[in-house]
Structure 1
Amino acid sequence: MTQLIGLTGGIATGKSTVSNILAQAGLPIVDADKIAWKVEGPGMPTTQAIAAHFGPQVLLADGSLNRPWLGHLVFNDATKLAELNAITRMPIQQAILTAIVAAGKKAPRAIILDVPLLFEGGWDHICDQVIVVSAPPAVVLQRLMARNHLDEAAAQARIDSQLPLTTKAQRADVVIDNGQNVDKTRTAVLKWLKTIN
């Protein structure tokens, strides 16, 4: 029977690294971020609803979302973040569920449901297991500043907008430490993979 494995972690903990290792091992990945980008693509109803709510400045000339502008807006205002989530939640959820069903038709031993806000969105309730990718706070902060070209305050605001990583780790079935090097991470992931029937 196919298992649904939730994969999550804090921002910049290296969840994508673990997702890539699992994909290389042949497991199908349902990537919530990629699905969200499609749902929020140029001309899509969800994108139009975001623009209607936050104003036309949220769109670039090609009709795509001005994500840096929107990110700066919502990650500094919990009310605006909640408003954005209220617009996007249902369309993204529906698209994710459709993708899970499609992946399940191939009858793999497991489907990886890669969702940054897995616990916040309640996705853990439909998963057979949940993996949380973890890294030390100082490492996470430096990675996020470098990756997104943010100053320390902006990076910390994004980290603080999510459920604390320690809380996610406590709720996980498996915690993968990605605070050192990729080889150690890969070893830990492949060791866990052997436990999946």
Structure 2
Amino acid sequence: MKWIGLTGGIACGKSTISRMLVEHSIPVIDADVIARDVVKSGSPGLKSIAHEFGEDVLLEDGNLDRRKLGQKVFGNPELLRKLEEITHPLIREETRRRRRMLEDMNTPLAVYDVPLLYETKAEDQFDGVIVVSCTKEQQKERLRRRNQWSESEIEMRIASQIPIQFKEGQADFIIFNNKDEQHLLREFDRLLAWLEEQKKS
């Protein structure tokens, strides 16, 4: 099975591309979904986070207060590393389980939607990497529209990731999500053609 990584900068449109792939019957494993699953209420992952960062990162219903945790770790490399030491092994194990299921079904190609592909130095694990890109100003504007974050929170979230220009330079395929919807659809058609080539190679 060809194993393709899908990544990009925050708010560049990776989730949109992921959704479009699913609509075209291309299997996608979403690291963000897995990351939420491994810290759901009552899970060992959430208990480890509460032990490390304090009970105040939990909501009254026992779920994770993502914003409060984010405020603690973003901008603090040491705390971010501690969080990743808890979550990354859990995410990797669940990813392996889901990938094996697809391989057992003789799936020819699957995509792994993972925001921190380059940050975790995972690029060598893939047969190819897709990067979704846009400008930094577009990232900021999209984050303002969809979150209640302050400008400093937005800057920290963007700064916590490797610059998009580096990711473009490492990518096997780039989607430029920096214009209108029609442009994105044309970019997606290019992607589908590239994925078909990957199946044959």
Instruction: Tell me the TM-score normalised to structure 1 length.
Output: 0.95
Ranges in structure 2 where 5+ consecutive residues have no aligned partner? none
TM-score (norm. length: structure 2):
0.93
Partner in structure 1 of residue 2 of structure 2: 3
Q: CA deviation at 1:185?
A: 1.6
| Greater Cα shift, 121-130 or 35-44 | 121-130
Structure 1: unaligned runs, 5 residues or longer: none
Offset from partner CA, 1:131-172 (integer Å, 9 cap, x none): 000001100111112211222221011000011111111110
Residue 109 (structure 1) shift: 2.8
- Cα displacement (A) at 1:79: 1.3
- The aligned amino acid for 1:30 is I
Work out whether 1:130 is the aligned partner of 2:129. Answer: yes
Aligned residue type for 1:69 = K
Give 1:38 deviation, angstroms: 0.5
Which residue of structure 1 aligns with residue 17 of structure 2? Answer: 18
| 2:9 counterpart letter in structure 1 | G
- Other-structure match for 2:104: 105
Comparing 131-140 and 113-122, the one that deviates more? 113-122
Determine the C-alpha separation between the residues in 1 that align with 2:129 and 2:137: 24
Partner residue, 1:40: 39
Percent identical residues: 36
Residue equivalent to 1:68: 67
Read off the aligned partner of 2:51 and give its amino acid letter: A
Q: Deviations over 1:100-147 (max 9, x none)?
A: 111222323310100000112233211111000000110011111221
Please give the alpha-carbon distance, in whole angstroms, between the structure 2 residues aligned to 1:124 and 1:102.
22
Matches within 5 A, 1:1-197: 2-195=1-194, 196=196, 197=199
Contact 1:18 1:185 in 2 (8 A): no
- Residues 16-73 of structure 1: per-residue CA shift (max 9 Å, x gap): 1111111111101100000110001001001000000011111112211110100111
Contact 1:27 1:108 in 2 (8 A): no
CA RMSD of aligned residues (A): 1.2
The list of structure 1 runs, each at least 4 consecutive aligned residues, that deviate by more than 6 angstroms after superposition, is none
CA–CA separation in structure 2 for the residues paired with 1:114 and 1:104: 17
Judged with a 3 Å threshold, the aligned counterparts in structure 2 of structure 1 residues 188 and 160 are, in CA distance, closer, same or farther, namely same
Q: Which amino acid aligns with 2:27?
A: P
SS at match of 1:145: helix
1:94 is aligned with what amino acid? Answer: E
Q: CA deviation at 1:182?
A: 2.6
Paired residue total: 196
SS at match of 2:188: helix
Are the equivalent residues in 2 in contact too, given 1:47–1:65 (CA < 8 A)?
yes
Once the 2 structures are TM-superposed, how far is the Cα of residue 186 of structure 1 from its aligned partner?
A: 2.3
